[in-house]
Each structure stands twice: as C-alpha cells, then as structure tokens.
Amino acid sequence: MSSRDQTDEKLERLVGQALRDQPLRRAPAALEMRVLGELAARARLPWWRRGIASWPAGVRIPVVVGCAVCVPLVWVLSVWLAGRLVAVATHPGVAAPISNLLDAGHVIASLGAIAAHVIQSIPREWLLGGILATGTLYAALFALLAVGYSLLWPRSEYSKAHLT
C-alpha cells in the first residue's frame, strides 16, 4: 500500500470519527408535529387512495395482470396503426399533398442556404459595425423614451415619499 493510500485512509478515519462525535440534531418541534400529523392523515386514507403496495392482494393482482396484458396490446396496436398510416400516406390522394409539403420544405431549406451564403459573404467588420450601430441606436432610443416618460408623467408626492 502506498503512502498516499495510507494518508487517504487515515484522513477518512479522522473525518468519520469527527462526524460520529457530533451531537445528534433534533428537528424543530413544529416540524415534528407537522410530520407526525401528515403520517396520521395518510394512515387514515382509504386503501384505494394509498400506494399500490398497501392495496389488498385481491385487488393488486388483477391490476398488475391488467397492466401486464396492456403492454403487448399497446405494442400490437401501434404496429397495426403504423401499417395503416403507411397505407394511407402512400394513397394517391394523400401522397400529392405530402409531396407538396416536402417540396415546400426543400424551398425553405434552399432559401436558408442562400441567406447563410449572403451573410457569410459580408465582411466581418461590416457585420460587427452593423451590430454595434444597432445596439447603440437601441440604447439611445431606450434612453430617450425613458427620459420622455419621466418628463411627461412625473412621480406623485405620495410615491416620492414612500421611495425615500
């Protein structure tokens, strides 16, 4: 065993001992009363409102069996539904609108590629300058609106007295 492992074990024992030597902390009386009250209230609940582990076996077993039966039924239903959706999607009356939607998606993707190409062809200095100019104008307009608002609607004496 290396000295590093021995040091780690010694430190672990010291920390463990220091933690064991700490006095136990009691919960506040109000918290203890609330917890005990909640436990008593839950104990008074009827069996069907408690967790399934506390249900009678005569009820719990059919529920578990019903859930176990539902899993393969849902799987079979989803496979059947997927087959029906494929059949409907390939029907000539439905395939044309879907094809139109796909074409529209291709057009939108092409427009996005064109926009990206245009943005990439603009020099970085211009983009940075435009962003800075837009931010500066926004800040200036915000400041002007704030000043105008404070000049048009001054605070009343009531609000001034309560703010100071």
Q: Tens of pLDDT along 125-134?
A: 998 999 999 9
pLDDT at residue 12, as a whole number: 93
In a domain, 7, yes or no: yes
Q: Considering the entire predicted model, what is its pTM? A: 0.34
pLDDT at residue 48, as a whole number: 82
Per-residue tokens: 1: 């065993």
Contacts of 35 (CB under 8 A, 6+ apart): 27
Higher pLDDT: 105 or 3? It is 105
Domain that holds residue 5: 1-44
pLDDT at residue 89, as a whole number: 73
> Taking 80 as the threshold, does the pLDDT of residue 159 lie above it?
no
In a domain, 98, yes or no: no
In a domain, 1, yes or no: yes
Per-residue tokens: 58: 């005569």
Question: By the 8 A CB rule, do 55 and 47 touch?
Answer: yes
Per-residue tokens: 164: 């100071």
In a domain, 103, yes or no: no
Q: Tens of pLDDT along 57-113?
A: 898 899 999 999 999 999 999 999 988 888 777 777 777 777 888 889 999 999 999
Place of tokens 């799987």: 75
In a domain, 6, yes or no: yes
pLDDT at residue 158, as a whole number: 55
Q: Tens of pLDDT along 21-62?
A: 898 888 788 898 899 999 999 889 888 888 888 888 898 899
Confidence of residue 161 (pLDDT cuts 50, 70, 90): low
Which element (helix H / strand E) includes 147?
A: helix 124-152
In a domain, 5, yes or no: yes
What's the number of domains the chain is made of? 2
Q: Is 23 left (phi over 0), alpha (psi -120 to 50) or beta?
A: beta
Amino acid at 130: G
